Amino acid sequence: MDIDNRILQLEKRRAFSPYMKKKTSVRDSLILFLDSLPRKPGLSECCPNDVCRFLVWKDKAGKNKVHGVQCKFLGTKGKPSCNCPVRLASGSVSVMVQHLVDIFCDIGAGRVWDVSTLSGNPAASPMVRDYLKMVQEEQARAHVMPKQAAPIFLSKVRAISMYIERELARRDLSLRERFVFLRDQAWFKLQFFGGDRAGDLAGLVAQDIRSLNDGTGLVLNHTYGKTLRGAKGKANMFVIKKCEESLLCPVKGLRDYVEGVGKLGVALSPGFLFRVVTDGGRVLDQAVSYSVIYERLRTYLTTLGIYHGETPHSFRSGCAVTMALSGAVNNMGQMMRHIGWFGEDSAQYYSRLPVLRESEYVASKLAKCTSQSEDIEDNFRKSADFESLEKAF
């Protein structure tokens, strides 16, 4: 029946979503761990202590060095040669706990743990919450900070664009190589000036792009993405404008891509804008993946000798910092609307805007106050010494 086929279609699509893939991976790991225990409990027999032990067991996949206060590497990044343990980041543990809550809920355990009857959802128990809190405190004391993508600024976008232009001038390029170079240059410019997530940009379809009436730029619209997912009233619409420097211009880069691949016999509309190309040179109507773009970016930066661990997320960070320091935005709201953030925490985290502004204004003013120190103290004693005022009454 058409109704059954429709339901199966939606369930299949959900099963292959990034969230479901992660949850399935956690579920498989949990089952493997439980099977290794002497009593071999099933999911329905799992207790809070089993969940905490599973989270400790998962630390073997951790990448964060948790240094002791006596370790000389305390506060440093990377994995220096010391005997301090490597753990999962507290943020990863928190996400995993949420996955576990959903996993137990799926088998009918609900979303709460009843301490009096020792039943319900073990991942939602006070014991697991306390474990997560202790991990967070331990890593805070060890100065383990959330990893932040190294920003990619326009200097590296320019270097990559110059390299690609030189390559596109070659006459011995295969059709596949030409398609990839045209795609990549458009992607990198668009992601920088749009501040888009790589995953959201990968899902962009040609029908989501419109030209401004005056021809000075393009309007892009996302209705689905990591934080969108069809939620009511949520969409990410932003504008990119032509740049004076044509080498960096995202509008020109995108048009060069569409026109260039058109000459190769590839029509990008309708369908995904950034597509997969096979080794044989066949362009598929499938969205290019994050891993492909990551590998391409790393290849360019490594070839140019300027790779410092950047990922596609680095364009998002670079865009935010550039907006903050260039005066392109007057407030946090403007940045959030352009990049598509729905909470100030993300905007502040990526742009460093509060820190940068305070460094420029508050810290600078405070540093100059040394010459006024006596006047400040006198003014305080005259106007704001509350202890003296209380004695007066």
Share of the chain above pLDDT 70, in %: 81
| Domain with residues 154-355, CATH architecture | Orthogonal Bundle (1.10)
Q: Cite the residue boundaries of each domain of the chain with CATH code 1.10.443.10.
A: 154-355
Confidence of residue 23 (pLDDT cuts 50, 70, 90): very high
Q: What one-character-per-residue DSSP string does 244-282 give?
A: SSTTT-HHHHHHHHHHHHHHTT---SSSBSSEEE-TTSP
SS3 309: coil
pLDDT at 15: 74
pLDDT at 287: 92
Distances (CA, A) of 168 to 243, 300, 330, 337: 21, 14, 39, 35
Confidence of residue 389 (pLDDT cuts 50, 70, 90): very low
User: Is there a contact between 242 and 216 (Cβ–Cβ < 8 Å)?
Assistant: yes
- Does residue 191 or residue 331 have the better pLDDT? 191
CA distance 162 to 184: 12
Q: Taking Cα atoms as reference points, which of 284, 157, 271 lies closest to residue 209?
A: 271
Question: How far is CA 64 from its chain centroid?
Answer: 18
Instruction: Collect all residues with Cβ–Cβ distance below 8 Å to 27 and sequence separation of at least 6.
Output: 99, 103
pLDDT tens digits, residue range 132-185? Answer: 999 999 998 888 776 667 889 999 999 999 999 999 999 999 999 999 999 999
Average pLDDT over residues 5-23: 82
Residue 218 token pair: 């393009």
Predicted TM-score (pTM) above 0.75: no
Share of the chain above pLDDT 90, in %: 50
* pLDDT above 70 for 238: yes
Confidence of residue 14 (pLDDT cuts 50, 70, 90): confident
* pLDDT above 80 for 388: no
* pLDDT above 90 for 384: no
117-139 exposure pattern, b = at least 16 Cβ within 10 A, e = fewer: eeebbbbbbeebeebbeebbeeb
User: Is there a contact between 104 and 43 (Cβ–Cβ < 8 Å)?
Assistant: yes
pLDDT at 58: 96
- Does residue 106 or residue 378 have the better pLDDT? 106
Confidence of residue 343 (pLDDT cuts 50, 70, 90): low
CA distance 99 to 286: 28
The HSE-up count of residue 386 (CA atoms within 13 Å, CB side) is: 0
8-45 exposure pattern, b = at least 16 Cβ within 10 A, e = fewer: eeeeeeeeeeeeeeebeebbebbeebbeeeeeeeebee
pLDDT at 365: 63
pLDDT at 393: 47
* pLDDT above 90 for 300: yes
Please tell me the chain's helix, strand, coil percentages from 3-state DSSP, rounded to the nearest 5.
55, 10, 35
pLDDT at 94: 95
SS3 240: strand
Average pLDDT over residues 55-63: 92
pLDDT at 262: 95
Confidence of residue 366 (pLDDT cuts 50, 70, 90): low
Mean pLDDT, the chain, as a whole number?
85
* pLDDT above 70 for 249: yes
User: Is there a contact between 183 and 296 (Cβ–Cβ < 8 Å)?
Assistant: no
Average pLDDT over residues 199-213: 89
* pLDDT above 60 for 357: no
DSSP 205: B
